[in-house]
């Protein structure tokens, strides 16, 4: 662990962290970076520092770093028990790891969301789901669009899991989720929140892709080489991101209630616009990969500098 610096950043994907680390260094903030891929900690000896910032992602297994996720969760629980403040801590991280928990929280908050079914057996799921096809199959522990399929029938689900049993990994839980027709030219909307307030919103046009990671390392502007271990073939056109300053206030308020209930200090909330006009919230991201060009277009600011502002204020509170 770190040697009593005021801030420790917990991370797994080095390319995602470069803009944040650069902003911290420009500001002259003393921090340590803790790589969750190759970690060890003594529960008797933590915490070493008063403030930690969790940047772990459930998609670590896609990059061959499956053990980073349970390690991160155990570490954060030990840090919190020891009295440290962990931004996007174990409560927020657990929410990101469990899509079924996300659905239950959206139901509690009265926010429109897809009908969902969590399962560990295909035949049981097919019987319970009935005739509500087509449906999306998703992982309980998601990330980077991995293991997502649009299925037309129960037989297709049964064949898919028979032919690709590794789709059950890493946690052996999957979901069926209601599929919605959306205008492909409008895509979905992702809102980024920091400290409980909207940072910016953007439209994301997928061109058929499931991997909508907003990091420029994963979906570069105009295409190009990606640093993501993409779980799908590249679409005919790269995923496109557009600033969306006209985001409805009702969507912003729903997002605020989600980040408050989920304990997210930084987070990305995604929703789609159904044909009947409802805003359908379907994904909650505690690890928020910010996109600098969108923030520049949205309000002429650097989103990583805003995060550092937030971290500086937290350091003053906890150090």
Rounded average pLDDT over 63-89: 96
Shared domain for 248 and 235, answered yes or no, is yes
Residue 270's contacts (CB-CB under 8 Å, 6 or more residues apart) are 188, 189, 190, 191, 204, 212, 281, 282, 283, 284, 285
pLDDT of residue 121: 98
Shared domain for 267 and 201, answered yes or no, is yes
In a domain, residue 59? The reply is yes
Shared domain for 168 and 187, answered yes or no, is no
Shared domain for 173 and 135, answered yes or no, is yes
Shared domain for 212 and 294, answered yes or no, is yes
Say how many domains are in the chain. Answer: 3
In a domain, residue 271? The reply is yes
What would the two tokens of residue 271 be? Answer: 């929703």
Shared domain for 243 and 198, answered yes or no, is yes
Angle at 244 (CA atoms; ends 192, 239), nearest 5 degrees: 80
**Alpha-carbon gap, residue 160 to 19, rounded angstroms:** 39
15-19, 81-85, 250-254, 259-263: which has the minimum mean pLDDT? 15-19
pLDDT of residue 239: 87
Give residue 36's domain range: 7-95+311-318
pLDDT digits (tens, 9 = 90+) for 91-126: 999 999 999 999 999 999 999 999 999 999 999 999
Which CATH number characterizes residue 31's domain?
3.40.50.20
In a domain, residue 67? The reply is yes
Which CATH number characterizes residue 152's domain?
3.30.1490.20
């Amino acid at each position: 662990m770190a040697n009593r610096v005021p801030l420790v950043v917990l991370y797994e994907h080095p390319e995602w962290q470069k803009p944040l680390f650069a902003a911290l260094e420009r500001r002259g903030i003393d921090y340590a970076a803790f790589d969750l891929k190759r970690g060890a900690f003594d529960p008797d000896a933590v915490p070493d520092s008063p403030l930690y910032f969790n940047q772990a992602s459930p998609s670590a297994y896609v990059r061959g770093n499956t053990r980073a996720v349970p390690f991160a969760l155990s570490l954060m629980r030990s840090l919190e028990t020891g009295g440290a403040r962990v931004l996007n801590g174990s409560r927020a991280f657990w929410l990101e790891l469990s899509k079924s928990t996300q659905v239950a929280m959206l139901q509690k908050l009265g926010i429109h969301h897809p009908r969902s079914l969590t399962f560990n057996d295909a035949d049981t799921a097919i019987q319970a789901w009935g005739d509500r096809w087509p449906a999306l199959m998703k992982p309980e522990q998601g990330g980077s669009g991995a293991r997502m399929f649009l299925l037309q029938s129960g037989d297709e689900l049964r064949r898919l899991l028979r032919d690709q049993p590794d789709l059950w990994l890493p946690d052996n839980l999957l979901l069926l989720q209601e599929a919605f027709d959306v205008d492909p030219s409008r895509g979905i909307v992702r809102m980024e929140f920091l400290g409980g307030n909207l940072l910016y919103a953007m439209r994301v046009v997928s061109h058929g892709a499931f991997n909508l990671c907003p990091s420029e390392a994963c979906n570069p502007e105009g295409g190009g080489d990606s640093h993501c271990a993409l779980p799908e073939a590249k679409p005919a056109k790269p995923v496109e991101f557009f600033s969306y300053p006209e985001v409805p206030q009702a969507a912003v308020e729903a997002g605020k209630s989600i980040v408050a209930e989920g304990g997210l200090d930084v987070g990305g909330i995604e929703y789609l616009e159904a044909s009947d006009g409802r805003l359908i919230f379907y994904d909650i991201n505690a690890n928020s990969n910010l996109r600098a060009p969108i923030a520049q277009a949205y309000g002429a600011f650097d989103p990583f500098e805003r995060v550092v502002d937030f971290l500086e204020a937290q350091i003053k509170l906890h150090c």
